[in-house]
Amino acid sequence: MSGPYASPRSGTSGPAVTLPTLRKLRQAGQPIVCLTAYDASFAAILDHVGIDLVLVGDTLGMVVQGHASTIPVTVDHMVYHTTLVARALKRAWLVADLPFLSYSDPSQALASAGRLLQEGGAKMVKLEGHAGQAAIVEALATNGIPVCAHLGLRPQSEYKIGGFRAAGRSQAEAEKVCEDARRLEDAGADLLLLECVPSLLAAEITRAAHVPVIGIGAGASVDGQILVLYDILGLSQSIRPRFVENFLTGGRSIAEAVAAYAEAVRNRSYPEPRHGFES
């Protein structure tokens, strides 16, 4: 892989990923490879393989703790799991979720994010956002905290929206997601994450953005892809979303499955059109 930044091959080390690294990948048209992790053992595998961004997601409430949603996850839970993952990472950029009701106003968001960075070792926090939270993103950014804004399907709002469903399919919803992305980027978001939005809408937002855009169920035109680690290993017991692909097949080891996912993202064989949503 050529360009201003080349991701290391499996089994090699490389310079630590930074925000400028992610921006250079976007500028060079090199896909950013992201996965979740919740403990040191899996995190070490991801780092060794060369995953660019590791997210300690509040999905741990479902895949680790056994809850039906992410709602029960607390800041203490997130700090604990982020600490475990941080110990194992040498290269990957580490992002941690701000859990439900931990960022209701700028003061609370600063306190929660501060714990994830100071105690947990995260480099960036992710929040499920909309335009009305611009002041929260601005407060974090002004205080030197990198922010990833999560748009589209927002699992922490599942009770309000009636469950997990694709977002942005109607004209009104699409316009709102675009406006949310613009407002939060203007407020200081360093990354955007689009979940379960139509592929054409994701492409439109990516073209308009000035920061890297990561997708999950958002088609192939974004700057990077993220999946839940347990999903690519076929470990999740719930109904499999259409964007999930099991890479632990054909007798592969866990490390080989992670490497296969990373290669599929980088050579753009994943995601395929069948993994995305239409308007």
Give 3's DSSP letter: S
Q: How far is CA 231 from the centre of its chain?
A: 14
Other beta carbons within 10 angstroms of residue 135's beta carbon come to 12
* C-alpha span between 159 and 167 (Å, rounded): 15
For residue 148, which phi and psi values (nearest 5 degrees)?
-110, 125
Rounded to 10°, the helix 106-118/134-142 angle is: 50
Q: Are 58 and 100 in contact (CB under 8 A)?
A: yes
Q: Are 44 and 82 in contact (CB under 8 A)?
A: no
CA angle at 40 for the pair 66 and 220, rounded to the nearest 5°: 75
Active site residues: 195
Other beta carbons within 10 angstroms of residue 65's beta carbon come to 14
Q: What is the largest CA-CA distance in the chain?
A: 50
CA angle at 211 for the pair 242 and 95, rounded to the nearest 5°: 65
Look at residues 190, 115, 166 and name the one whose alpha carbon lies nearest to residue 278.
166
